[in-house]
């Protein structure tokens, strides 16, 4: 398993009006990106035809101004998943697979770069096997991962900040020749996080409410917990809360309802995946809340009795993107309203 793990060796920048986006002249190329094992992939020029494994990498490229180079995606964003004009542009990208892109279709896509959000998509209902490194090379496709998600399980460190997400954005900016835009996106994220940190960053552990990320779509028979190496752990921590399963290693792990009851969280995030329709999303949130209120093991939990639910989508909490910072803001303002100035 490999993932993006290093920045460009040169100072990449946005292509200017007179620059050829495929030439690499004047844009900090060549760019070398190292994976988790130290193997490097070299880009002599920005890729012209990019395929993304899902909506996370697609959204990053759209925000970087490289969306016109995306020729296909898997796991496309549902209607309303991306705001305004960003969503309109995303809907114009050809869908190569409603879920995992079939191997043959990916290799025949004509892409020169494939960006993977996860190290393995097999558990998510993929069609066929993933291409081997040799098959990618034979098809002329460079293969890169988002480190914040693909490398999380094997990374030795917990995720308690968004540095891995910032690194993903900056690396994609270097690869696509849009480094200036990447810097601006990261700066915007940091400004939001700085305001939250000023309000809640100094809270002691016993001042931070406990928080359970309820992955409703993972099933209700056995809950799935986000552990300390999952991106959601960073989001929760930055927002001034304590992930009740911060103690488990890895990214996700199956737990029991007895484990959740023992933690008795102060707040519960009703995390549902985008349905492509606001009404359908609301209905899913309602079902998640109704389950917790009626299930014998959970109806007595502090968060359930007091109605302390947050309706925040799974994707913007567990998958890398600019909106991770907005999710930190939303959680922090909900849990600590008196620590923020009125009207903010």
Q: What domains are defined for the chain?
A: 31-185 (3.40.50.1980), 202-339 (3.40.50.1980)
Instruction: Give the integer Cα–Cα distance in Å for 142 and 145.
Output: 10
Digitized pLDDT (tens) for each residue of the chain, 344 residues in all: 333 333 333 343 333 323 333 334 346 899 999 776 667 899 999 999 999 999 999 999 999 999 999 999 999 988 878 888 998 999 999 999 999 999 999 999 999 999 998 875 443 334 457 899 999 999 999 999 898 988 877 777 899 999 999 999 999 999 999 999 999 999 999 999 999 999 999 999 999 999 999 999 999 999 999 999 999 999 999 999 999 999 998 899 999 999 999 999 999 999 999 888 889 999 999 999 999 999 999 999 999 999 999 999 999 999 999 999 999 999 999 999 999 975 44
175 closest CA partner among 87, 74, 57, 94: 57
129 Cβ contact partners less than 8 Å away, ≥ 6 residues apart: 103
- The C-alpha atoms of residue 212 and residue 244 are separated, in whole angstroms, by 6
pTM of the predicted model as reported, rounded to 2 decimal places: 0.87
Distance between CA 229 and CA 208 in Å, rounded? Answer: 19
Long-range contacts of 162-168 (CB under 8 A, 24+ apart): 162/189, 162/193, 162/231, 162/234, 162/235, 162/238, 162/324, 162/325, 162/328, 164/231, 164/234, 164/320, 165/189, 165/231, 165/320, 165/321, 165/324, 166/190, 167/4, 167/5, 167/7, 168/4, 168/60, 168/320
In sign, the C-alpha dihedral spanning 121, 152, 292, 247 is positive
Residue 257 near residue 236, CB atoms below 8 Å: no
CA 55 to chain centre: 9
Looking up tokens 């809270």 gives 203
CA dihedral of 219, 322, 171, 162, whole degrees rounded to 10: -70
């Amino acid at each position: 398993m490999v993932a993006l793990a290093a920045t460009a060796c040169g100072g990449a920048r946005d292509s200017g009006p007179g620059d050829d986006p495929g030439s690499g002249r004047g844009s900090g190329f060549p760019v070398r990106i190292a994976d988790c094992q130290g193997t490097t992939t070299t880009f002599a020029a920005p890729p012209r035809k990019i395929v993304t494994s899902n909506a996370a990498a697609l959204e990053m490229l759209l925000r970087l101004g490289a969306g016109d180079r995306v020729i296909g995606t898997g796991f496309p964003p549902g209607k309303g998943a991306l705001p305004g004009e960003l969503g309109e542009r995303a809907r114009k990208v050809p869908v190569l697979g409603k879920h995992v892109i079939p191997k043959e279709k990916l290799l025949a896509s004509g892409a020169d770069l494939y960006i993977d959000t996860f190290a393995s998509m097999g558990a998510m209902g993929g069609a066929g096997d993933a291409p081997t490194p040799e098959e990618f090379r034979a098809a002329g496709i460079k293969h890169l991962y988002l480190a914040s998600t693909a490398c999380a399980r094997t990374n030795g460190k917990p995720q308690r900040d968004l540095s891995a997400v910032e690194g993903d954005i900056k690396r994609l900016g270097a690869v696509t020749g849009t480094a200036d835009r990447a810097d601006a996106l990261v700066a915007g994220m940091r400004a939001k996080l700085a305001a939250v940190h000023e309000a809640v960053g100094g809270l002691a552990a016993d001042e931070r409410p406990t928080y359970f990320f309820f992955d409703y779509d993972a099933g209700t028979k056995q809950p799935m917990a986000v552990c300390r190496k999952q991106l959601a752990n960073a989001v929760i921590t930055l927002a001034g809360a304590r992930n009740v399963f911060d103690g488990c290693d890895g990214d996700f792990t199956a737990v029991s309802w007895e484990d959740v009851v023992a933690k008795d969280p102060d707040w519960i995030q009703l995390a549902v995946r985008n349905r492509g329709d606001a009404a359908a999303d609301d209905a899913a949130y309602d079902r998640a809340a109704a389950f917790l209120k009626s299930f014998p093991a959970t109806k007595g939990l502090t968060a359930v009795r007091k109605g302390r639910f947050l309706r925040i989508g799974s994707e913007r909490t567990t998958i890398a993107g600019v909106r991770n910072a907005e999710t930190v803001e939303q959680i922090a303002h909900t849990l600590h309203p008196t620590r923020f100035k009125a009207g903010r």
